[in-house]
Structure 1
Amino acid sequence: MTARRSRTSDAAPTAPVTVVVATLNRREELRGTLGRLTRLPESPPVVVVDNGSADGTAAMVAARFPQVTLVRLRENRGACARNIGVRLARTPYVAFSDDDSWWEPYSLARAADLFDRHARLGLLVARLRTGEAGRTDPVSLKMASAPLGREADLPGPSVLGFPACAAVVRRAAFLSVGGFDELLFFGGEESLLAVDLAAAGWGLAYVSAVQARHLPSPLRETPARRWSLHQRNDVLVHWMRLPLRDAARRTAMLAGRAVRDPAAARALCGLLRRLPGGIARRRPVPPSVVRRLAVLGELR
């Protein structure tokens, strides 16, 4: 890894939560996000990891937000850029933002308090509000319905997945399971981290009182490209952690669709390129985690 930090500080952080933002070529969206994050009443430390942007993103951050820690990467590290930010954090908890998302005032303070009071809590998923109108995202509505029930030592319904831009993690838990895996790169990369945390005994919970906002950038992958990346990584996670019969079945389903669907063909090609690395990383999760995924319909 080649990285350079534009600024560090020896002063103690003013909040128990650091916000980590990974970005790539979304200078204007990031400008708005940092404007909101740096005005939060909690005054959280903010770390921006720039994945080799070519649009002046890093220069904008350095000039407009000198209080932000900036890491400039020479290459795109995908979701693993967040790992770098977590390692730099000096707070016990870390929240993730995308360059087109941010946290509502006092939400990070509420999250920190819940982590302090729930020792097994490894990851908290906030209510995600999307678009100009701030409507609750369908993923949040599903989590609020508690399909996995509630555990007495967690502050909300149990979950086994999350959108990164609405997640706060216990730094020690995140680092103990390795963070985001570079093999997945990007696209549904949260799934592997969620099952690894659960397999290690950490609790994951949804809390509606903690809120994040997402104003999706128009500078996004096409829907077909996003679908392809998610499908590739979904099947790859099966090979890395879940029963082999389920991994084989999902691979066969993707291969069948690839005959007539170019997006599925791209997903299958990407899967096959990464499969040797995935098998080398294979570490089956406990049956209890497999059963919970089945409840969520992830093994259909």
Structure 2
Amino acid sequence: MKKKSFSILISTKNRKEDLQITLSKIHYLFLQDNVSCVVYDDGSTDGTFAFVKNNFPDVILYRNEISKGYLYCRNKMLNETTADYAISLDDDAHFLTENPLLLIENYFKSNPQCGLIAFRIYWGTTIPDNLISKDVRCRVQSFVGCAHVWNMQAWRAIPNYPEWFVFYGEEDFASYQLFKKNWEINYLPDVLVNHRVDMKLRKKNDDYHIRLRSSLRSGWFLFLLFYPAVVIPRKIAYSIWIQFTTKVLKGDWRVFKIIGIVLIDVLKNGFKILKNRNKLTATEYVAYQSLAPAKIYWVPEIQTT
């Protein structure tokens, strides 16, 4: 079988309708000879596996009978692909830029130190009228998990995503590891992705506090794994202060409990933190902080007539 240049990797669980939209939108891409598409069904109970198998026979399909977590799925797909470039897409995200693969390939070839490309991402359930952006290409600290592409040489140079993080933070983990290995993360606004998420509605979802716990926990993990020791207490204290001032003091008392739970999470994972610590030197820390932050949300400019 001919080696593929690109592999599109999607992990999913119980989101058949979202996945159907995504596969329909990007189907024209993986019909190309140099592109494969892999879907990893992480223990869905909504018929996802049968749906993909019956309706998208050209998709390479994996399944966990019992969920092992999306980081397990991501690691497995990335470690098994033989493609030169691996595009990671959420099951509720698709390209708005037509034929993005040529843009991606040309950029990697022109920028050999680029280990990962971060896309321009619009978060919303409806597409804006104006898709033109004044954003410029640049090096950034990190990337968004829902849509990015790996130079597989860079992926093979760093440790796997930490499955013990469970949810959130794996992108920053990879970013620090790439930085330590002198690989760059570049923002390529030429490629636009629609992440079909209603951000206002997400905050009202039942899993909001679960997401908050995961986000806060992963942030502390990252401080302890990569930051110089002298910086860590101040960073953790500041993150606690932010939670108090923005949430607890405004009446969300459950956040106070979450902070306590996160402290326990850190203690439980103390050995893993010590084992995997890969601290930035003082010089590296300053250099990393000087980079532009991850480009997470792209907001269209208002058109005037």
Query: Greater CA deviation, 280-289 or 166-175?
Result: 280-289
2:107 is aligned with what amino acid?
A: L
**Contact residue 123 and residue 205 of structure 1 kept, 8 A:** yes
Aligned with 2:184 (options 189, 199, 203):
203
Secondary structure class of the residue paired with 1:40: helix
Tell me the distance in 1 between the aligned counterparts of 2:60 and 2:171.
24
Tell me the distance in 2 between the aligned counterparts of 1:83 and 1:112.
22
Secondary structure class of the residue paired with 1:83: helix
- 2:143 counterpart of 1:162: yes
Tell me the distance in 2 between the aligned counterparts of 1:216 and 1:194.
24
Secondary structure class of the residue paired with 2:280: coil
User: Which structure is richer in relative contact order (CA contacts within 8 A, separation 6 or more)?
Assistant: 2
* Residue of structure 2 in register with 1:4 after alignment: none
1:177-256 matched pairs, under 5 angstroms: 177-216=158-197, 222-253=207-238
After TM superposition, give the deviation of residue 83 of structure 1 in Å. Answer: 1.5
* Residue of structure 1 in register with 2:61 after alignment: 70
Aligned with 1:60 (options 51, 58, 64):
51
Aligned with 1:127 (options 97, 109, 120):
120
Tell me the distance in 1 between the aligned counterparts of 2:73 and 2:270.
22
Secondary structure class of the residue paired with 2:189: strand
Pair 1:17–1:288, CA change in 2 (3 A): farther
1:262 is aligned with what amino acid?
A: K
* Residue of structure 2 in register with 1:266 after alignment: 261
Secondary structure class of the residue paired with 1:213: strand
Aligned with 2:270 (options 252, 272, 275):
275
Aligned with 1:87 (options 79, 84, 91):
79
* Residue of structure 1 in register with 2:109 after alignment: 116
Tell me the distance in 1 between the aligned counterparts of 2:287 and 2:166.
25
Pair 1:297–1:131, CA change in 2 (3 A): closer
**Contact residue 14 and residue 48 of structure 2 kept, 8 A:** yes
2:177 is aligned with what amino acid?
A: D
Deviations 1:160-179 (A, max 9, x none): 11101221110121121023
**Contact residue 255 and residue 265 of structure 1 kept, 8 A:** no
Pair 1:195–1:135, CA change in 2 (3 A): farther
Tell me the distance in 2 between the aligned counterparts of 1:135 and 1:290.
38
After TM superposition, give the deviation of residue 214 of structure 1 in Å. Answer: 0.7
Pair 1:290–1:144, CA change in 2 (3 A): farther
Tell me the distance in 1 between the aligned counterparts of 2:292 and 2:235.
13
Tell me the distance in 2 between the aligned counterparts of 1:31 and 1:221.
24
Deviations 1:190-228 (A, max 9, x none): 111011111100011111101211102778763322222
After TM superposition, give the deviation of residue 289 of structure 1 in Å. Answer: 3.6
Aligned with 1:24 (options 13, 28, 37):
13
Query: Greater CA deviation, 103-112 or 165-174?
Result: 103-112
Aligned residues: 272
Pair 1:197–1:51, CA change in 2 (3 A): same
* Residue of structure 1 in register with 2:301 after alignment: none
Tell me the distance in 2 between the aligned counterparts of 1:266 and 1:37.
40
Tell me the distance in 1 between the aligned counterparts of 2:181 and 2:87.
20
Secondary structure class of the residue paired with 1:245: coil
Identity %: 22
Deviations 1:147-190 (A, max 9, x none): xxxxxxxxx31101110122111012112102312121211321
Pair 1:289–1:50, CA change in 2 (3 A): farther
Max Rg structure: 2
When the two structures are superposed, what TM-score results if normalisation uses the length of structure 1? 0.81
Deviations 1:94-144 (A, max 9, x none): 1110010122321122111111221111011111122134359xxxx9x94
1:67 is aligned with what amino acid?
A: D
Secondary structure class of the residue paired with 2:159: coil
After TM superposition, give the deviation of residue 236 of structure 1 in Å. Answer: 0.2
Query: Greater CA deviation, 175-184 or 211-220?
Result: 211-220
Aligned with 1:101 (options 69, 78, 93):
93
Tell me the distance in 1 between the aligned counterparts of 2:127 and 2:284.
33
Tell me the distance in 2 between the aligned counterparts of 1:293 and 1:231.
21
**Contact residue 128 and residue 213 of structure 1 kept, 8 A:** yes
**Contact residue 236 and residue 275 of structure 1 kept, 8 A:** no
Secondary structure class of the residue paired with 1:210: strand
Gaps of 5+ in 2: 294-305
Secondary structure class of the residue paired with 1:169: strand
